[in-house]
Amino acid sequence: MIGLGLSVEEKADRVADRVRAGGINKVVVFCPSRHPLPLDLDVPTEHVEWEEVIRYVFFYRLLQEIDGQTLVVINECLRTPERSALHYNCLRNYLTRTTHQMVFSRFPCLESPEDFMVLVDLDTRSRWRRNTLDQVGEALQIEARDVAPGLLPIDVTTDAATRDLYRRTKRELIDGIGARDPHTIPRQLHLLGGKHKAATAARLGGLWVGRNARLKVPGLVSYDEAREPRRVLEFCHSFRDWSDYLTSSGATEVPALVSDLNVDRWYLERFQQWSEMQRDAYSAIRNHVGS
C-alpha cells in the first residue's frame, strides 16, 4: 500500500495493524535520518537509514534476511525524481524478497507529477517501471491526505539603497553567469533583502526558518534544523529541502516574509506552484484509484 500525507502516528498505526493481521515475523524500515518512524511492535524491527541503503554491509545481509514473512516499510524515501537512481534500485532488490510492503510519503511528488511513479515502482516491484500513472493496469491501494501547504505572504518594504544594490547585483550576475547554473542568480539575489526581513522578523517575534543563521534573528533556525511549524524568513531553493521542512514540521499553512524585490515574488510563486502541483497529483491519484 501507499500512504500519502499521513502523520507519524498514523503511519505507526498502519504498520501495527498490518503486523497484527498476521504472517509477519520481522519489520525492516528504510527512512532518511531526518524522518524517523518510531514503532512499538511485537516482532523484531530494524531501521536502515537512507544513506545505508546502498552500502554493501547492509545490502548483502538484507538480501539474505528479508523473506516472505518480512514487512518492508519505506518511509519518506522520495529523495530524487530519477526512477533508476541507485538507492531505488537497491530498494527494489530488497522488495523482490517479500510481497509485504508499505510505502509512505507526505507528498506524492518532488519536482513534477511524474515523480509519484517512484512510489508506484516501490509498491509494485517495478511492474510499471516504464509507464505513467494512467497506464498502470492494476488496482493500487492508496490512502491519501491532501496536505499541500498554503502560503501566506507577509509584505516587507526595502529601501532605495537596497533596491539599487539589487539592480546592480542582478546585472552583474547575469553578465557573469557563463556556463554556471542559472539558479545561482535567484539564490544570491534572494539574500539581498535579508536585513529588512530580519528586522521585520525581530519585530514580530516567534519562530522562523531561513537558509542559515547569518541574520542573527531570535527564534531563527535553518531548514535542516526545523522540526516544527515556523514562519519563513527566507525561502530555501531546493524542492527537497522544502519538502523535508514541511514533512518534519507538519506545516500546512506557511506564513512567509516577501519583500518588494522581484526575486522574492518569484520564490513565492515558485512554491505556490509547487503546492498546486501536489494538489493536481492528489486529484490524478484519486481519479486512478476510483477508476
Q: Which of 115, 145, 175 marks a domain boundary? A: 145
Q: Mean pLDDT throughout 238-256?
A: 97
What is the arrangement of strands in the sheet containing 100-105, beginning at the earlier edge strand? 45-49, 26-31, 70-75, 100-105, 2-4, 142-144
The domain of 155 spans 150-280
Q: How many domains in the chain? A: 2
Contact between 140 and 235 (Cβ < 8 Å): no
**Residue 177, in any domain of the structure:** yes
What pTM does this model have?
0.94
Residue 290 binned pLDDT confidence (cut-offs 50, 70, 90): low
Say whether both 12 and 86 belong to one domain: yes
Q: Mean pLDDT throughout 242-270?
A: 98
Say whether both 243 and 133 belong to one domain: no
**Residue 212, in any domain of the structure:** yes
Average pLDDT, the chain: 95
**Residue 26, in any domain of the structure:** yes
Q: What is the pLDDT of residues 191-226, one digit of tens each?
A: 999 999 999 999 999 999 999 989 999 999 999 999
Say whether both 171 and 274 belong to one domain: yes
CA distances from 120 to 2, 176, 229, 285 (A): 8, 42, 29, 11
Q: Which of 130, 145, 160 marks a domain boundary? A: 145
Q: Which of 145, 161, 185 marks a domain boundary? A: 145
CA distances from 66 to 18, 34, 98, 104, 143 (A): 17, 24, 7, 19, 25
Say whether both 59 and 97 belong to one domain: yes
